[in-house]
């Protein structure tokens, strides 16, 4: 160190110079005027007796860390440690090599035994390097511990003069076995513990496996610590520290290491248990800054039972407050109240012991290991305490008022949670999780900003969109929606009415999700996961309902009143599918579905009910992005009924067909349907049109739309003029109609009907009666029956043609080639052991490389989400060249084959591309276009 820096440091420490200005002295009155001296001329630090200096190595100016030693000794003396109990450069022989090692500072207790061994390093890289070395192999400190097993504390110490103030940091290790480890040593000789360790390596292993290499940040030098009585002070909420870059993965790796060295192989159970702990942590962080946290290991006073007692109390509060679920927990106070009613002390002790065993010596929400007796309880307590120590100083809740911290904490904490999620849950039949990039794509495709703008234009104070995911799983959709809406909120200026500005200002700084965001999840573990995910993404007030997504929560369910919006602006979901015999377990209380009675008791098509539930939840004009199996577009039976409902209630704005590489552990192809909710009257109006035109053969003058043009467009699908088609409706077929495919198809279909065949089978009663009729009467009977059967089918086909005609739909089909599909998605799934999970494709700067969306620019012209957003917003999708092989805009009516007699409303995706620019021009001008040929013909005259 240069001399000016030395003078600044020692002056800040309280040293004063003599007349010459070369000798600086500090006197400690509380220690009988003991003096420390710094001689600038001879470049020496003088530690007078009774401080014991075994070696002069730390007494000169040559090494910068010698001034760290000086500052440390100064701090010890100020704290109250007496000079005669401080030793410098105490020497030991290290290991078999016979090499000596010298501890920078050793503090002896009043009993003459080694109390604290301190290794001093300069702040920054040297301190961090030794900290890593200690973690990896024990470093110098554990070598010293091996030489003097009486040592109670090891301390790595650094300090520096920064901004005219002395700042220090320390990393402390207490050499004391926890009670559960001490108990395990008696029953299991293989248990590693400080008391049984014989070498430095075994001591380090005891620290690593029992304390997960935990360094305490307090206990020796902090304000509350007392001299000669170092102990870890209980953590207060103000002591919690935010996550730092890369710490999410580091903590996850440390968690995995705890599981490994404790031989825990059930990762799914471990994830559920740490999720319970995180819920406790979230509840605990509601305390005031100066309150002690409950989520910690109080090394000096805690027992395994006392720790679990606090955790159970926190967990009960979390379940009640956040999931509205009762959790059975009997507090010590309740036990005392019950036991006190028994007069005999013996009976009281026996009852307490029985309750204690029932309470602790069985599996519970914190059982990483199977627990059914005291020994196993202690084994699990060892694991539990390691994990608590890993997380106890970390901050899991943070406020939006600090924009910088909010942004970065969300990312770092989210990384930790995503790693836990990937490792903890496996996909099962009918239930697979939406990869984060897919959830992000769907959310970024929704016109959320436009919804806000529409409400703001109407000066509505509650201008945010109401959003729900009725099968929210781990909460990916919800957290993405929260982030997207918050981004839009933060961009808005306070230029609206006073009521709007008041909410806007509030929501830019505080939670708003409690009013606008809703998630429902039937799986208790996942519901809890979603709630935790909301906290980890910055806003834990979102409404997570533990229940069935098909239930109607606008009314009380199971005696509970849930907060629930009457209608929603947006639905985002990836609901379950193919659940065998789901009806027998449904048990709905309030909901009613038109599709329900069409499902058999053994039916598995639960997804069709979620299609109807989407219609029930959305307001008119609301939008949805829903992931469904591809079979929803093509299968018959109940799927036909579902498509009928979908086409009646929604405009199908976009269909994105994902391949088998999209979701982990499933070969199922899926489609994401982007829908806009219609007014139900439209289907009724078109049904009335079909009644009049097809069944009654009536004209409709002055109609709500050009229904004559609709009829003409429909007739042209059968290559018929309106007049020829109307001859079918009037039951006076023209020669052109009789020669058409329409007539021939119906003629063959009618001839193959059972009731037609029965009339021609003289062995059957119908045939015998039919044979008695004259030839004219027979022809009249068949003609009557023909039109009775054909016209309702025509009514059905014409109705759905009306509902889909001139409805522009964006169709996207991902590449069929597996490698190309992965590049399009921007990720793949790794199944390599130890590296399982989703792997994003990133560039050198760490930016996600995907065709689905751009991380920085919401509506990037080359990204798929922009096309879907345009379609949902009523804009013409502008398809870039790179996406033309995969995306096109079609008239939805072209996707339905209305020429098939067996019209099942299948929606085909291999439809010829519409000339989208010209098509949108005509649509906007209200010009009816009947076929693709009409577009081409119109183009010639445009």
Q: What is the pLDDT of residues 907-917, one digit of tens each?
A: 999 875 554 44
- What pLDDT is stored for residue 923 in this prediction? 46
Rounded Cα distance between 691 and 693, Å, is 6
- What pLDDT is stored for residue 931 in this prediction? 38
Share of the chain above pLDDT 90, in %: 61
Residue 541 within a domain = no
Q: What is the pLDDT of residues 443-488, one digit of tens each?
A: 999 999 999 999 999 999 999 999 999 999 888 899 999 989 999 9
* 216 in the same domain as 312: no
Residue 492 within a domain = no
More reliable by pLDDT, 413 or 893: 893
Q: What is the pLDDT of residues 527-564, one digit of tens each?
A: 888 888 888 776 678 999 998 999 988 877 766 677 89
* 121 in the same domain as 77: yes
Rounded Cα distance between 279 and 526, Å, is 13
Residue 743 within a domain = yes
* 157 in the same domain as 20: yes
* 177 in the same domain as 82: yes
How many distinct structural domains can be found in the chain?
4
Mean pLDDT (whole number) for 431-437: 74
Question: How does strand 114-120 pair with strand 153-162?
Answer: parallel
Query: What six digits make up the tokens of 621?
Result: 């004009």
Q: pLDDT confidence of 665, banded at 50, 70, 90?
A: low
Residue 762, domain extent = 701-803
Residue 745 within a domain = yes
* 192 in the same domain as 251: no
* 172 in the same domain as 33: yes
* 205 in the same domain as 59: yes
Q: What is the pLDDT of residues 753-807, one digit of tens each?
A: 999 999 989 999 999 999 999 999 999 999 999 999 999 999 999 999 999 999 9
* 272 in the same domain as 227: no
Mean pLDDT (whole number) for 192-210: 92
Q: pLDDT confidence of 668, banded at 50, 70, 90?
A: confident
- What pLDDT is stored for residue 20 in this prediction? 87
Rounded Cα distance between 193 and 178, Å, is 9
- What pLDDT is stored for residue 227 in this prediction? 95
* 257 in the same domain as 117: no
- The angle subtended at Cα 166 by Cα 160 and Cα 170, nearest 5°, is 65
Rounded Cα distance between 319 and 373, Å, is 26
- What pLDDT is stored for residue 914 in this prediction? 53
Tell me which of 186, 204, 233 is where a domain ends.
233
Residue 827 within a domain = no
Q: What is the pLDDT of residues 261-289, one digit of tens each?
A: 889 988 888 888 988 999 999 999 999 99
* 255 in the same domain as 180: no
Its pTM stands at 0.76
C-alpha 224: how far from chain center: 39
More reliable by pLDDT, 917 or 653: 653
Residue 907 within a domain = no
Residue 855 within a domain = no
Q: pLDDT confidence of 649, banded at 50, 70, 90?
A: very high
DSSP H/E element including 90: strand 86-94
Tell me which of 775, 803, 831 is where a domain ends.
803
- What pLDDT is stored for residue 666 in this prediction? 58
C-alpha 756: how far from chain center: 59
* 199 in the same domain as 251: no
Q: What are phi and psi of 655, to 5 degrees?
A: -130, 120
Q: What are phi and psi of 930, to 5 degrees?
A: -90, -40
- List the end-to-end C-alpha distance of the chain, in Å, as a whole number: 85
Q: What is the pLDDT of residues 589-621, one digit of tens each?
A: 777 899 988 888 888 899 999 999 999 999 999
Q: What is the pLDDT of residues 140-157, one digit of tens each?
A: 999 999 999 999 999 999
* 8 in the same domain as 87: yes
Tell me which of 372, 392, 412 is where a domain ends.
392
- What pLDDT is stored for residue 683 in this prediction? 95
Rounded Cα distance between 370 and 266, Å, is 11
Residue 44 within a domain = yes
Please give the mean pLDDT across all residues of the chain. Answer: 88
């Amino acid at each position: 160190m240069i001399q000016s820096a030395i003078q600044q440091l020692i002056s800040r420490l309280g040293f004063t110079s003599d007349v010459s200005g070369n000798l600086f002295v500090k006197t400690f009155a509380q220690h009988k005027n003991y003096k420390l001296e710094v001689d600038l001329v001879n470049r020496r630090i003088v530690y007078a007796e009774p401080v014991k200096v075994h070696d002069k190595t730390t007494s000169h100016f040559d090494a910068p860390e010698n001034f760290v030693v000086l500052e440390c000794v100064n701090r010890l003396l100020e704290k109250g440690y007496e000079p005669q109990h401080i030793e410098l450069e105490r020497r030991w022989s290290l290991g078999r090599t016979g090499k000596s090692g010298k501890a920078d500072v050793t503090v002896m207790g009043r009993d003459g035994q080694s109390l604290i061994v301190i290794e001093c390093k300069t702040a920054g890289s040297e301190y961090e390097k030794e900290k890593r070395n200690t973690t990896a192999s024990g470093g110098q400190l554990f070598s010293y511990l091996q030489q003097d097993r009486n040592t109670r504390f090891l301390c790595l110490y650094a300090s520096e003069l920064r901004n005219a103030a002395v700042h220090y940091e320390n990393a402390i290790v207490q050499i004391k076995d926890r009670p559960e480890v001490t108990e395990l040593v008696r029953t299991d000789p293989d248990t590693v513990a400080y008391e049984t360790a014989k070498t430095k390596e075994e001591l380090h292993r005891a620290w690593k496996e029992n304390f997960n290499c935990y360094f305490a940040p307090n206990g020796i030098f902090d304000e509350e610590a007392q001299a000669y009585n170092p102990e870890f002070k209980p953590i207060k909420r103000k002591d919690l520290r935010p996550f730092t870059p890369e710490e999410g993965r580091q903590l996850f790796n440390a968690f995995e290491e705890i599981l490994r060295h404790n031989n825990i192989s059930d990762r799914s159970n471990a994830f559920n248990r740490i999720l319970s702990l995180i819920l406790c942590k979230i509840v605990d962080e509601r305390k005031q800054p100066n309150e002690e946290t409950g989520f910690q290991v109080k090394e000096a006073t805690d027992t395994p039972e006392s720790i679990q007692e606090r955790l159970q109390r926190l967990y009960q509060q979390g379940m009640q407050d956040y999931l509205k679920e009762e959790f059975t927990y009997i507090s010590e106070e309740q036990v005392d109240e019950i036991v006190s009613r028994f007069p005999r002390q013996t009976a009281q002790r026996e009852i307490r012991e029985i309750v204690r065993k029932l309470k602790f010596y069985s599996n519970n929400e914190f059982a990483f290991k199977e627990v059914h007796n005291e020994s196993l309880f202690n084994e699990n307590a060892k694991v539990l305490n390691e994990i608590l120590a890993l997380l106890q100083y970390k901050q899991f809740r943070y406020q939006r008022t600090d924009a910088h911290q909010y942004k970065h904490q969300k990312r770092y904490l989210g990384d930790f949670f995503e790693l836990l999620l990937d490792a903890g849950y496996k996909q099962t039949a009918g239930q697979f999780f939406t990869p984060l990039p897919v959830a992000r794509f769907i959310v970024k495709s929704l016109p959320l900003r436009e919804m806000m703008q529409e409400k703001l234009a109407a000066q509505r104070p509650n201008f945010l969109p109401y959003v729900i995911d009725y099968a929210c799983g781990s909460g990916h959709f919800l957290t993405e929606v929260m982030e997207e809406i918050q981004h839009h909120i933060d961009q808005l200026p306070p230029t609206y009415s006073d009521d709007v500005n008041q909410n806007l200002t509030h929501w830019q700084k505080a939670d708003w999700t409690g009013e606008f965001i809703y998630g429902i999840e039937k799986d208790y573990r996942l519901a809890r996961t979603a709630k935790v995910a909301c906290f980890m993404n910055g806003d834990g007030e979102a409404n997570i309902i533990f229940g069935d997504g098909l239930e109607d929560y606008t009314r009380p369910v199971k005696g509970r009143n849930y907060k629930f919006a009457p209608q929603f602006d947006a639905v985002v979901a990836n609901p379950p599918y193919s659940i065998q015999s789901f009806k027998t377990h449904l048990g709905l209380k309030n909901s009613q579905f038109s599709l329900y009675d069409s499902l058999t008791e053994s039916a598995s098509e639960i997804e069709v009910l979620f299609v109807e539930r989407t219609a029930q939840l959305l307001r008119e004009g609301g939008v949805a992005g829903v992931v469904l199996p591809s079979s929803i577009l093509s299968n018959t039976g109940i799927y036909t009924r579902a498509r009928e409902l979908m086409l009646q209630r929604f405009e199908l704005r976009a269909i994105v067909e994902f391949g088998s590489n999209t979701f982990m552990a499933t070969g199922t192809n899926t489609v994401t349907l982007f829908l806009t909710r219609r007014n139900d009257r439209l289907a009724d109006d078109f049904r009335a049109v079909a009644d009049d035109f097809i069944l009654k053969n009536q004209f409709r003058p002055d109609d709500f739309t050009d229904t004559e043009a609709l009829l003409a467009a429909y007739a042209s699908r059968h290559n018929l003029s309106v007049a020829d088609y109307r001859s079918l409706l009037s039951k006076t077929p023209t020669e052109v109609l009789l020669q058409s495919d329409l007539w021939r198809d119906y003629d063959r279909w009618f001839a193959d009907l059972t009731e037609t065949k029965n009339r021609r089978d003289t062995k059957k009663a119908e045939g015998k009666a039919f044979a008695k009729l004259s030839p004219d009467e027979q022809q009249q009977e068949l003609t009557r029956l023909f039109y009775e059967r054909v016209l309702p089918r025509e009514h059905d086909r014409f109705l759905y043609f009306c509902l889909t005609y001139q409805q522009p739909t964006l169709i996207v089909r991902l590449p069929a080639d597996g490698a190309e599909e992965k590049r399009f998605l921007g990720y793949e799934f790794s199944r390599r052991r130890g590296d399982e999970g989703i792997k994003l494709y990133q560039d050198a700067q760490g930016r996600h490389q995907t065709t689905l969306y751009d991380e920085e620019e919401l509506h990037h012209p080359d990204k798929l989400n922009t096309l879907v957003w345009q379609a949902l917003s009523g804009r013409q999708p502008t398809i870039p060249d790179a996406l033309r092989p995969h995306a096109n805009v079609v008239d939805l009516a072209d996707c339905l084959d209305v020429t098939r007699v067996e019209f099942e409303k299948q929606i085909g995706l291999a439809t010829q591309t519409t000339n989208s620019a010209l098509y949108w021009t005509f649509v906007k001008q209200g010009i009816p276009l009947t076929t693709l040929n009409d577009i081409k013909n119109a183009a010639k005259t445009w």
